[in-house]
Amino acid sequence: MKKITRKYIEDQLNTKDWGKKGSDEREVALILLVSGIVGAFPEKVEEILGDPKGMLKRVTDNARKNGIWKKNGRVMCEWLDKKSGSVALACDVAVCLGWLKRTK
């Protein structure tokens, strides 16, 4: 299995159009994608990414408050859906930035 590093995840984002390197949106997308691999555990995400722009607490709070991250470590997402995965990830990035709220 490939070792999960910040560079590996950034390379994956580079295959899509995910904004400028270092933008808030891109940093949150990195956090979410890593959480999809290691689980909704901020300490594990931080081991791989550090704390991009000091955003990890805000992302954690918003992801948990909106049901993206569960306390048991599950990540509730549709990011792998072939038709709408990119849109789902973009919406969850906006949620974690506090721009949107998830509804049931």
- Tens digits of residue pLDDT in 12-67: 666 555 667 778 888 899 999 999 999 999 999 999 999 978 999 999 999 999 99
| Beta-carbon count within 10 A of 93 CB | 24
- Terminal CA-to-CA distance of the chain, rounded, Å? 35
pLDDT in tens, 52-92: 789 999 999 999 999 999 999 999 998 888 888 888 898 89
Percent above pLDDT 70 for the chain:
86
Domain boundaries, the chain: 6-96
Radius of gyration of the chain, Cα coordinates, nearest whole angstrom: 12
Percent above pLDDT 90 for the chain:
48
